[in-house]
Amino acid sequence: MSELDFTSDEMMTIAAARALKNTDVCFVGIGAPSAACNIARLTHAPDVTLIYESGTIGTAPSVLPLSIGDGELCETAVTTVSVPEMFRYWLQGGRVTVGFLGAAQIDRFGNINTTVIGDYDTPKTRLPGGGGAPEIASSCGEIFITLKQSKRAMVEKIDFFTSFGHGEGGDHRTRLGITTKGPTLMVTDLAVWKADRETSEFTVVSLHPGVTREMVQDTCGWTVRFADELSETPHPTELELSTLRDLRARTKAAHSGGAKTGEAA
């Protein structure tokens, strides 16, 4: 693989990272959201404030954490506060501009299921649950979501409401008294989606290089809406790719017992 060849997973992570601004205060989910947020911090948004659910504020991990309890987060944070303070003062106090979440199931209106697949009492699969995601989804200024596309993940109707997106669409959030924007952006391994201002339905605004409309529809469980002016996601730059690959290499070495070589400052 040459330096500017890239995988769909790398394109997804980098495209998601680009959505964060230097001035954002971001509540970070574990997994793909964590990778995207840290790539933003290591490239175009060095002053972004990353917050994890365990209470770490301004964390700057040199490797991706395994969980919110990973010592790497506390060791590199500006400060660590109690979980009640994190949620009551920082999150519910309106001090977080972006919540970055993943999903096991998601529908066209950004409603997320991370609880069960199938019936709640007799599920096919029991998932980790919501953790702080329900509060993040309602209290952050806006929500970004990243996940790999599949008909299993992107469904017409989620099996369980873990985190409220736009409900039934339209102004459903407002009617429930939720004043934050909710899901505004979804980045998958195939495309960039944005919530329509009127219907609140996710609409494809950009296809990643080499991706067709048919590929997006074939891996989505609802009828996809495409923007009238559909663009192509810019290719990853050399800096973005090398930063992501270095981060993943350090993470793999650290989690396999190796040294954290080439740590970022």
Which residues are identified as catalytic?
53
**What's the alpha-carbon Rg for the chain, to the nearest Å?**
18
CA dist 218 and 26 (Å) reads 32
Q: Give the closest residue to 160 by CA, choosing from 189, 122, 187, 186.
A: 122
Q: How far apart are CA 200 and CA 78, in angstroms?
A: 36
Let me know how long the chain is.
265
Distance CA 200, CA 190 (A): 20
d(CA 180, CA 199): 16
Cα distances from 10 to residues 40, 107, 181, 222, 233, in angstroms, run 13, 24, 28, 25, 13
Q: Cα(217)–Cα(212) distance, rounded to whole angstroms?
A: 9
